[in-house]
Structure 1
Amino acid sequence: MSCSAAALLSTLWLATAPAGPATAAPPPAAAVAIEPLFADIVRRAGVLKAEVEAFKGKTAPIPATFKQQVSELAALDMQAHRTLAERNLDGDLKCILRGISEDLPLKLKALEEAATASDRDLAVTDMGYLLNDNVEVITAPPQAPV
């Protein structure tokens, strides 16, 4: 039998075979970005990112208000993590928020302890990335599990 004939027969056979059981795609997780807690996190992280960028190239001490705001944001991220855990949502967002909550104090400490201008600029960049991630993970459209 030629390859063309075999291909034609297999195509016809597959076309007449019954389809497998229909599997419904799971619904995507509800977007949380519009909920007050998560919207507050996005707003605060955006404001802090703009503030931390202003520290680049400067040697002035980190203001106490900035430190307090970073601590508050870390607490809100942990609260958001717990909120998602209470909803029994097993997804990346819950874990990422916990990680950000734990990383914010570490990035702040690195910023405070930066001894040189290049160390400080690196710490500013790292803190900026983390704050930007805080915004993006919440505002990203929900993804269906793979």
Structure 2
Amino acid sequence: MQPVIFRWGLFCSLFAATAACADLPRDPAGTTERVERTGKLIVGQISGDNLSDQSAKILRRVAQRTHATVHIRQGAGEQLLTDLEEGRIDLVYGRFAKSSPWSANVHLGPPMGRRKIVGKDERVPRFAFRNGENGWITMVQREIP
């Protein structure tokens, strides 16, 4: 009798684990779904950090995938990153160092441009994402060459 109970328990555990992984990576705050539903991709652009041709192309591809229109909001880094953390905007574009104090609060994507290996204190163009929005992060970063 015990082997049957053990097998049943093992089956239920494996089924639950598989079901939990079905939609990975996830967006706990629903960024991808919201962008698709509203048709708006809201991007904060730090004043003085102009969008490169490459970053504009990435935004166009993401907008196309999500059937959204890109809306740019320029502003100070502190305010834009706060808005990102609180879910009022979807991405922030600017020049960030991996050692930035903000790296504890937001996900800093890979450097854009030809150089992929940079020092941790070197400020380079990249996107910042809301922490934990792994589906959104994965989708956008797939568009970065």
* TM-score, reference length from structure 2: 0.29
Question: Which structure has more strand as a fraction of its residues?
Answer: 2
Relative contact order, CA 8 A, sep 6+: which one is greater?
Answer: 1
Larger-gyration structure (1/2): 1
Question: Which structure has more helix as a fraction of its residues?
Answer: 1
* TM-score, reference length from structure 1: 0.29
